Amino acid sequence: MLLTPTGGAGNGAVGSAGRLLSIGTVLNQLRGEFPEVTISKIRFLEAEGLVEPQRTPSGYRKFSPQDVERLARILRLQRDHYLPLKVIREHLDALARGEQVRIPTPSPQGDPTLAAVLPADPEEPTVARVGRAELLAAAEVDEVQLVEWESYGLIAEGAGGGYDAEAVTVAKLLADLGRFGLEPRHLRAMKAAADREAGLVEQVVAPLRRHRNPQTRAHAEATLKELAGISVRLHEALVQTALGVRLR
C-alpha cells in the first residue's frame, strides 16, 4: 500500500470542509469504519501526540476534517498492519514532510514476520510463578503480614495457585511502605484507584481482545501494556504534583 501526503488509505471519515467537530461527532463518523473505537481511544491518541485538536477557551476539543482523516489513517494502520504507535508516528511525520510512504500489505494468511514475534494465543501466556515461601522470602516479611495484605485485597494468589512476578513486586513495595508505618488499611485507597485505572484501560482494549484473529488479540495485549505504562507514569506525575502543591 502506498500512502501519499494528500490521500488517505481507503474512504476517509471527514466532516464538511473547514468545519470543526466535537469529539462526539468525530466518534460517530469514525464508527462507520471503526465500530470499536471509543472516546477514550481518541483521547489516548491525542495524549500520545498523534493528533492535536484545537481547544476552545473553555477547554473543549475541536477537530478539523484533517484531524479526523488523520485519526482514520492511524486506526487503519493499527487495524490492518498491527503497527505500534511509534512506527505510525514516524510514517505520519514522513507524510507531513511530503514523502511517500510504503506500508507492507499483509497477506491473507497474516504477516509471517509478525507471527514470529507474537504469541499464537495471547490469552494463554506462560507465566512463571513462585510459591508462598518464595514470596515471603523475596519481600522479607512473615506469614502474618502476608495474610493481612490478602485480607485487604492488596495481593492474591493466581487462579492456578502461586504468585506471578507482579505479585512479588507488589509484596516488596508493600513491605517498603510498611517500614514507613503505612499499614494495609491505609493502602486500600491506592488499590481502589488502581482498580479504576485498570478498568479504564480494559475498556479500550476489550473489543480487540475478543477478536477472532490471534494477531489482533496480540495487538490488544501490546496496547494494554502501552496504556498501563502511560497510566503508571500519569499516576506518578499526579502524586508528585499533589505533593508539590501541598508542601509549598
Task: Tell me if 115 is assigned to some domain.
Answer: no
Task: Tell me if 162 is assigned to some domain.
Answer: yes
Task: Identify which of 70, 72, 74 has the alpha carbon closest to the alpha carbon of residue 82.
Answer: 74
Residues 130 and 89 in one domain: no
Task: Tell me if 119 is assigned to some domain.
Answer: no
Task: Tell me if 51 is assigned to some domain.
Answer: yes
pLDDT at position 15 is 44
DSSP 107: P
Q: Which SS3 state, helix, strand or coil, does residue 49 take?
A: coil
Residues 174 and 207 in one domain: no
Task: Tell me if 247 is assigned to some domain.
Answer: yes
Task: Tell me if 80 is assigned to some domain.
Answer: yes
**By residue range, what is the domain housing residue 166?**
126-182
Give the E-state strand segments of the chain in sequence order: 2-3, 54-55, 61-62, 101-102
Residues 103 and 132 in one domain: no
Last residue within a domain, chosen from 75, 108, 141: 108
Q: What is the pLDDT along the chain (248 residues), one digit of tens a residue?
A: 444 444 444 444 444 446 899 999 999 999 888 888 888 889 888 888 899 999 988 888 999 999 999 999 999 888 877 777 888 888 888 888 888 767 655 443 343 333 333 333 333 344 467 888 988 988 889 999 999 999 999 999 887 788 888 888 899 999 999 989 999 888 988 888 888 888 888 888 888 777 777 777 777 777 888 888 888 888 888 888 888 877 66
Residues 169 and 233 in one domain: no
Total number of domains constituting the chain: 3
pLDDT at position 103 is 67
pLDDT at position 41 is 85
Do 76 and 27 form a contact (C-beta atoms < 8 A)?
Answer: no
Question: For residue 172, what is the domain's CATH number?
Answer: 1.10.1660
Task: Tell me if 117 is assigned to some domain.
Answer: no
Task: Tell me if 94 is assigned to some domain.
Answer: yes
How many residues are there in the chain? 248
